[in-house]
Structure 1
């Protein structure tokens, strides 16, 4: 095998190890050559092209991307549910605080005092 062809195969292995997208151009760039240097018209690249196709099928980032996108969508959905619960909780708290204030004002009016104790004293 020529040294140039070996560079391409070494580049293919490096891309596999890193889990990067694999195609003819990425292998060419990794080998230090110009994109498009792996030509269909050159029979010496037939085996290399077949190996690139195999590697592209196995390490297809589209499968990983699909899993990541699904996981991201699931996390976003959980986040939306959590945000809705938080907003609902804040609304409930504000409503209860308003009710407490209203009841304190009524209690002060009924007792005739100006200060409402927070805790009742035990007698």
Structure 2
């Protein structure tokens, strides 16, 4: 009976994303629950009636977690895309600024050269 409790505790840790034996954010399935419980992969089998409730809970947890991971993944991709867009806009603004500064320097030199013109006498 303690083995079954180990599986339930492992499932609980995976749900809260605080696993001890498997990497964080691991997908929730029978194999990861077994590994997290310190058992071998494939030790949770449908053929064993004692695991029927556990398997149902694993399937439910996997469905719920996968939806939240997908929404987080979509948000992350959107934020990365926005970040890249803002970075591109920033670099374009810097390029414009440099070109305008160069043009301003050219025009100031032109103004200085025009100030040195001596008026013609009548």
TM over 0.5: yes
Compute the RMSD of aligned alpha carbons: 2.3
Alpha-carbon distance between aligned partners in 1 of 2:56 and 2:75, rounded to the nearest angstrom = 33
Q: Which runs of 5+ in 2 are unaligned?
A: 19-24, 118-122
* Residue 12 (1) aligns with residue 16 (2): no
User: What are structure 1's unaligned runs of at least 5 residues?
Assistant: 114-123
Match of 2:31 among 11, 22, 25: 25
Runs (4+) off by over 6 Å: none
User: What is the TM-score normalised by the length of structure 2?
Assistant: 0.71
Map 1:26-45 to 2 at 5 A. Answer: 26-45=32-51
CA distance 1:46–1:83, change in 2 (3 Å): closer
Equivalent-residue separation in structure 2 for 1:107 and 1:22 (angstroms): 72
Aligned residues: 110
Q: 1: CA distance between counterparts of 2:70 and 2:48?
A: 35
DSSP 3-state at the match of 1:38: coil
Q: C-alpha displacement at 1:10, in angstroms?
A: 2.4
- Tell me if 1:111 matches 2:111: no
Deviation at 1:35, TM superposition (A): 0.7
Question: What TM-score comes out, normalization by structure 1 length?
Answer: 0.71
